[in-house]
Amino acid sequence: MPTGPDHPALARLRPLPRAFYNRDPLAVARELLGKLLISSMQPEGGPHPPSFGECGNSQGSPPTLLAGRIVETEAYLGTDDPGAHAYRGRTARNAVLFGPPGHAYVYFIYGNHYCLNVSCQPKGEAGCVLLRALEPVCGIEGMAALRGLPLDSAPPRLAELRRLTSGPGRLSQALGITRPRHNGCDLCSRKGGLYIAEEDAELASGTSDVAGIATSRLAKPRIVTTPRIVTTPRINVTRAPHHEYRFLLSGNPFVSAKRA
């Protein structure tokens, strides 16, 4: 099981370039599948929950990397999309969407959950992609602590792992993502403590221990062949409900809500 702090295979990955996000959100949403969302956590100071220091790190410890593979996304097309936050124009809440591409737009919903989006398209155009689900890859114990969930099995069962990052609110909590800490964070730089990276051959093949999620049935079948991408209507979107702007990896057990 991965131990987390400064794992060399994960720590060497570079954030995706800004050009990746400077495109149609439908293309970005599809191509984000299989990428790694990485949160760099420290016990004191910096863009992370202070409570993470209770997970076993002491002050002065090196950052702990929490990471998950993106398996489900939704595209939002800005002012042309009735289902998008930007549909009615720029506000203080959604201003990040109208800025440069490759930045985190984090909003609070239902009085309980944070949701992470990434801005797309050139400055002034408000497209974005919502990250809906991750497959845990690194820092599973830290994720469980941030979620306030016990891991009763060793190794954890699939059902326990799904509760960590299957759903936009869950994944944000598991990686310590909040609006006060991360809204506007530049995802094209490591400096903000949150970024998205391309998985390299070592991680993708499962030869690195960071790819060895808690059960062999999860660690071995991945990326032997390219997973099939399925599109469906977005979840809980009542305006423009029939547009198939949700993208997911077919058969992946960490996909949230309706699977395909």
pLDDT at residue 49 above 60?
no
Minimum mean pLDDT range among 40-54, 138-152, 184-198: 40-54
To the nearest whole number, what is the mean pLDDT of the chain?
A: 83
Q: What is the pLDDT of residues 120-172, one digit of tens each?
A: 999 999 999 999 999 999 999 999 999 999 998 888 999 999 999 999 999 99
Stretch among 84-88, 133-137, 247-251 having the lowest mean pLDDT? 84-88
Res. 60: pLDDT tops 60:
no
Q: Where residue 238 falls among pLDDT bands split at 50, 70, 90?
A: confident
pLDDT the model gives residue 101? 98
Percent of the chain with pLDDT over 90: 67
Residue 257 has pLDDT above 90, yes or no: no
Q: Of the given ranges (60-64, 92-96, 139-143, 219-223), which has the lowest mean pLDDT?
A: 219-223
Predicted model pTM: 0.84
The pLDDT, as a whole number, for residue 217 is: 34
**Confidence tier at 249 by pLDDT (50, 70, 90):** very high
Strand partners, 233: none
pLDDT at 114 over 60: yes
The answer for residues whose C-beta is within 8 angstroms of residue 164's C-beta and 6 or more apart is: 136, 140, 143, 144, 147, 149, 170, 171, 174
Q: What is the pLDDT of residues 4-27, one digit of tens each?
A: 334 678 888 999 999 999 999 999
Give the mean model confidence (pLDDT) for residues 221-234. 75
